[in-house]
Amino acid sequence: MAQTKTILRALAGETLPTPPIWMMRQAGRYLPEYRATRAEAGDFLSLCYNSDLAAEVTLQPIRRYGFDAAILFADILLLPQALGADLWFVTGEGPRLSTTTTPEGLRALKPADAIHEHLAPVYETVRILSRELPSETTLIGFAGAPWTVATYMIAGQGTPDQGPAHALKAADRATFQGIIDLLTESTILYLSEQIKAGAEVVKIFDSWAGSLEGQDFIDFAVKPAARITKALKDIHPDVPVIAFPRGAGERYAGLHAAIGADCIALDDGVTPEWAAAHVQTGGCVQGNLASSHMVTGGETLVQETRRVVDAFSKGPHIFNLGHGITPDANPENVQLMIDTIRNGK
């Protein structure tokens, strides 16, 4: 099937007449069927670790919309939990973790190769999906990038400016680097195991890359992603890697080569026209319609969807949003976007 799956063709560098489509967070709270399944699971973490239900919510947007890819339903913070951090979710506020900010705290974490028992339900979800997805649908595995995951581990929660992680980076570089190194090694093992279970593509989400400046962007966004990508390519040479250093701005230019990724995912902080001229020249790009259009819809959604498709039409492109779809999105707007791309409506 590898030769006929449109996502894999785009990732291999082929320019297609109609770009393949999927959406970040396409299995999520905007769908009533997702909310029903989450209620059945009891809470978010229980849903992540229930392989049958996690597979079900992964399949829901495929059944509804016929996306060209499904992305594994999980969370980037399952990995630090597998390393020994405490993880819980506060309703209406998001994730909380026990913090890792000292040499002693770093030493208390498990080694990278100890993650697999804890993450076994995630691998089982991948195996279920590899059996149950339609034959034309590509299965994407994923992990958070080391910098982004580290920001949560250091602060104990999400922060508006990743200030605690920047402060530790400045005050105790050795401990900070140790956290990054542990996350890099464990991410390689985690993604490799997802591939062994059936993932056909993997994506590295660096949601907070944009807050890194100067050499720090190279050292803590680019280099870890490159290290992960190279290690995966050494083990699984035929499996494509998508990198998403969100907020990179003009630094997106040249990242295909710097990271070694088959595709660079773009947020909506850059225009598709600029990205076609400066990023798509390096290989496949993914993106980059603003998520807000899934809420507002209408003719503006149609026009902006066409704009993205037209801008990237001369090279390999996977249509996606510039960030995850939001819980207040209207499912009908998703269908309008898909119809605009596939039918030219």
Catalytic annotation, pick one of 75, 206, 267, 268: 75
Strand pairing report for 69-71 and 138-144: parallel
Catalytic annotation, pick one of 35, 38, 96, 307: 38
In whole angstroms, what is the distance from residue 134 CA to residue 117 CA? 29
Catalytic annotation, pick one of 29, 35, 64, 306: 29
Contact between 277 and 271 under an 8 Å Cβ cutoff? The reply is no
Burial of 104 from C-beta contacts in 10 A (0-12 / 13-18 / 19+): exposed
Residue 25 designated active-site: yes
Residue 29 designated active-site: yes
Residue 202 phi/psi, 5-degree rounding, is -130, 150
Residue 64 designated active-site: no
Lateral strand order in the sheet of 69-71: 69-71, 138-144, 201-206, 241-245, 263-265, 284-289, 317-321
- Cβ density class 30-68: b for 16+ within 10 Å, e for less: bbebbeebbeebeeebebbbbbebbbbbbbbbbeebebb
Residue 306 designated active-site: no
List the one residue out of 245, 162, 250 whose CA is nearest residue 210. Answer: 245
Q: Which two tokens stand for residue 76?
A: 């980037």
Q: Which two tokens stand for residue 334?
A: 């998703």
List the one residue out of 160, 252, 244 whose CA is nearest residue 202. Answer: 244
Catalytic annotation, pick one of 30, 34, 49, 152: 152
Return the bridge partners of 244, or none.
Answer: 205
In whole angstroms, what is the distance from residue 52 CA to residue 123 CA? 11
Catalytic annotation, pick one of 9, 25, 246, 251: 25
Q: Quick one: the chain helix, strand, coil %, rounded to 5? A: 55, 15, 35
Residues with a known catalytic role: 25, 29, 38, 75, 152
